[in-house]
Amino acid sequence: MNDTEDTAPSNELGEIGLVSYADFVSREPFTFENGRIIPEFSLRYETYGHLNEARSNVILINHALTADHHCAGIHSLQDRKPGWWNNMIGPGKPIDTNRFFVVCSNCLGGCQGSTGPTSINPETGKLYQLEFPFVSIRDMVRAQKRLVDHLGVSKLYAVVGGSMGGMQVLQWGIEFPDFVGRLLPMATTSQQGSQAIAFNEVGRQAIMQDPEWLQGNYAEDGGPKVGLAIARMMAHITYLSDKGMDMKFGRRRRNEDINTVFSFDVDFEVESYLRYQGQSFINRFDANTYLYFTRALDYFDLKGQYGSLEKAFEDLKSKVLVVGFTSDWLFPPEGNREIVLAMLRAGKDASYAEIAMDFGHDSFLVESPDLYKLVRAFFSDD
Partner 1 sequence: MKRASEKRSVDMQIILDWVEPGSRILDLGCGRGVMLEFLKQKKSIIGMGVDLDPSKIRAGVKKGLTVYQGDLEAFMGSFPDSFFDRILCSRTLPELSHPSKIIHEALRVGRHLTIGFVNHGYWKNRLGMLFEGGRFINEVYPNQWHDSRPTNPVSIKEFEYFCSKEGISISQKVYLSGDWKTPCRIVPNFSAGYALYDLAR
Question: In angstroms, how far apart are the furthest CA atoms of the chain?
Answer: 69
Residue (of 340, 331, 349, 372) closest to 162 by Cα position:
331
Residue 149 Cβ, how far from partner 1 at the closest point, in Å?
Answer: 29
Residue 252 Cβ, how far from partner 1 at the closest point, in Å?
Answer: 32
Site residues, partner 1 (CB under 8 A): 1, 3, 5, 7, 319, 321, 337, 340-341, 344-345, 347, 349-356, 370, 373-374, 377-378, 380-382
Nearest residue (CB) to partner 1, 151 versus 344: 344
Give the number of other CB atoms < 10 A from CB of residue 341.
15
CA 158 – CA 160 distance, rounded (Å): 6
Marked catalytic residue, from 139, 327, 361, 362: 361
Nearest residue (CB) to partner 1, 179 versus 325: 325
Nearest residue (CB) to partner 1, 274 versus 340: 340
313 and 222 Cβ atoms separated by less than 8 Å: no
48 and 130 Cβ atoms separated by less than 8 Å: no
Residue 79 Cβ, how far from partner 1 at the closest point, in Å?
Answer: 34
Cα 254 to chain centroid distance, Å, stands at 33
194 and 278 Cβ atoms separated by less than 8 Å: no
Does residue 328 carry a catalytic annotation?
Answer: yes
Does residue 163 carry a catalytic annotation?
Answer: yes
Run of H or E including 46: strand 41-48
With H, G, I as helix, E, B as strand and everything else as coil, classify residue 257: coil
Nearest residue (CB) to partner 1, 3 versus 220: 3
Marked catalytic residue, from 119, 136, 163, 327: 163
Nearest residue (CB) to partner 1, 205 versus 380: 380
Residue 294 Cβ, how far from partner 1 at the closest point, in Å?
Answer: 30
Residue (of 320, 338, 326) closest to 364 by Cα position:
326
Q: Which amino acid is at 254?
A: R
CA 336 – CA 309 distance, rounded (Å): 12
Residue 272 Cβ, how far from partner 1 at the closest point, in Å?
Answer: 35
DSSP letter at 316? -
Marked catalytic residue, from 328, 358, 363, 368: 328
Catalytic positions are 163, 328, 361
